[in-house]
Structure 1
């Protein structure tokens, strides 16, 4: 039998559009702005990665920040990738919620989306919290590690007391406290996050402020609900005793187990939280591009609002 007369091989099966990604180069996939109308698609993509469906947090992210996404060409109505870029004045940007559908992993989608976001940042310094899986990509894009954060969770027992400094008064914040909170936050956080913090009263279950005997604000902290935990953050204070007192008061009233993202640059804080029932060893890396370190005063910044927001 000659090659000309040999029977043709059977045709290759056509890949199912629901099981195989399209052949278009990832860099050709358009990036678009996300809106609150994309909330369900964001939650679905997060759930694919084993994350809880953090609807409350995503609503804040998509309104206080700029969501960016890539529509899935093989599954209409879903997202292939997400990223949230939050601006803090003209000087700083924070990147969070970088997610890529598993079927598109290692095809350059994350890099494509990150480059799109970074191109929009201009000269602003950019920071993020990286998982072990994401860190190599971020290093290739010019981010440098500057620290770590460990996530602790559990029912706060109060077994290790946290007395406030003598004369310090803790109380629930009111709308009248917002200007003082913003003024306190700016030098401690190191950038202007007015757009985010003005949303905090509607977002958080509790906000506490600490005052010195003369009435000067010496710290504030908030607690907000996130599906299965009460997250404590942000937490800013003049010193660790004040921070611990704020955290203990918020945790004592938490309706769910507490989550706290602790920076090891605060000696003894993690040990105190563990002594009060929190556990965990999930460590992420703090990374910065375009600046030598995170902005602000780490000595007074005890917890982020969220690792996705700084």
Structure 2
């Protein structure tokens, strides 16, 4: 492998004209960010990174600030030929410096990145369970509370924002608005009175139909939402779960999912995760925390 020096590399803030270059960078490490993902990140956050003397993007890191005092870092990528020169650290620092030092910043680390984040002051506060499904087994079960999944309407947005805030730990209005626009399917969970008790999104990526965020009042309601999102999809599925007990994970296994990794959640400027109500059953994607 050819290795290049750090000379002539400049740190940039990327924009829409850089989307193709960011896709190429993602592909250089075997990741599957596509234009829609990057557009959503740019719509509610910033992406920093280096370009070489040929105007090629060789590193990146994204930060998505949420509505009050929480942000998420992701998409930390360094082209293999430029590793070992501190580019990942430089881009992550740029992300951290772009928000207030009162902002709690979370990320989901790769095994390669975890030592660097620890040196920068991030602490492990949990983990995420990544599940992949090649052949989905539909569920015949339905919640016994009279719940029904229906297409999300504009009138539902304020309630969805509130449900997500209580499940995730901060309001994410701008992010969710853009993620819903990107979604393949957006559902809300209504009770017999018409009240919205949960919601779920699916996003079609290059390799998988990504299920999440999924917010539901209990395991059976979450399983029902997942089934409605996954039903009739012929390709691979992916869901990333925040920390929870084995009950829902066993449902996933019975539905054809297999756990493939368990990366750590890390945080800086705080000692713990934000307060959550345990209703988050699937995160949007690792870059969004």
With the shorter chain as reference, the TM-score category is over 0.9
- Tell whether the 8 Å contact from 1:44 to 1:53 is kept in structure 2 after alignment: no
Match of 2:13 among 30, 33, 45: 33
Structure 2: tracts of 5 or more residues without a match: none
Number of residues of Structure 1 aligned to a counterpart in Structure 2: 287
Structure 1: tracts of 5 or more residues without a match: 1-17
Counterpart position of 2:32? 52
1:118 paired with 2:96, answer yes
Match of 2:108 among 129, 146, 159: 129
Distance verdict in 2 for CA 1:131–1:156, change over 3 Å:
same
Q: Give 1:125-164 correspondences, 5 Å limit.
A: 125-154=104-133, 155-158=135-138, 160-164=139-143
1:258-296 deviations in Å (ceiling 9; x for gaps): 111123423311111111111232221111111232224
Counterpart position of 1:229? 208
Q: What TM-score does the superposition give when structure 2 sets the normalisation length?
A: 0.93
Match of 2:74 among 96, 100, 108: 96
- Tell whether the 8 Å contact from 1:221 to 1:233 is kept in structure 2 after alignment: yes
- Tell whether the 8 Å contact from 2:168 to 2:276 is kept in structure 1 after alignment: yes
Counterpart position of 1:105? 83
- Tell whether the 8 Å contact from 1:263 to 1:303 is kept in structure 2 after alignment: yes
Q: Give 1:289-304 correspondences, 5 Å limit.
A: 289-297=268-276, 299-304=278-283
Question: Distance between the aligned counterparts of 1:201 and 1:51, measured in 2?
Answer: 22
Q: CA deviation at 1:178?
A: 1.3
- Tell whether the 8 Å contact from 2:125 to 2:267 is kept in structure 1 after alignment: yes
Match of 2:188 among 209, 212, 216: 209
Q: CA deviation at 1:253?
A: 3.4
Question: Distance between the aligned counterparts of 1:56 and 1:149, measured in 2?
Answer: 23
Counterpart position of 1:220? 199
Q: Which protein shows a greater Rg?
A: 1
Question: Distance between the aligned counterparts of 1:133 and 1:22, measured in 2?
Answer: 20
Counterpart position of 1:42? 22
Counterpart position of 1:21? 4
Q: Secondary structure, in 3 states, of the residue corresponding to 2:286?
A: coil
Distance verdict in 2 for CA 1:296–1:54, change over 3 Å:
farther
- Tell whether the 8 Å contact from 1:221 to 1:236 is kept in structure 2 after alignment: yes
Question: Distance between the aligned counterparts of 1:135 and 1:247, measured in 2?
Answer: 31
Q: CA deviation at 1:198?
A: 1.1
- Tell whether the 8 Å contact from 1:82 to 1:100 is kept in structure 2 after alignment: yes
Question: Distance between the aligned counterparts of 1:288 and 1:219, measured in 2?
Answer: 27
- Tell whether the 8 Å contact from 1:69 to 1:82 is kept in structure 2 after alignment: yes
Q: CA deviation at 1:190?
A: 1.4
Counterpart position of 2:164? 185
- Tell whether the 8 Å contact from 1:230 to 1:255 is kept in structure 2 after alignment: no
Q: Secondary structure, in 3 states, of the residue corresponding to 2:235?
A: coil
Q: Secondary structure, in 3 states, of the residue corresponding to 1:294?
A: coil
Q: CA deviation at 1:218?
A: 1.1
Counterpart position of 1:166? 145
Q: Secondary structure, in 3 states, of the residue corresponding to 1:297?
A: coil
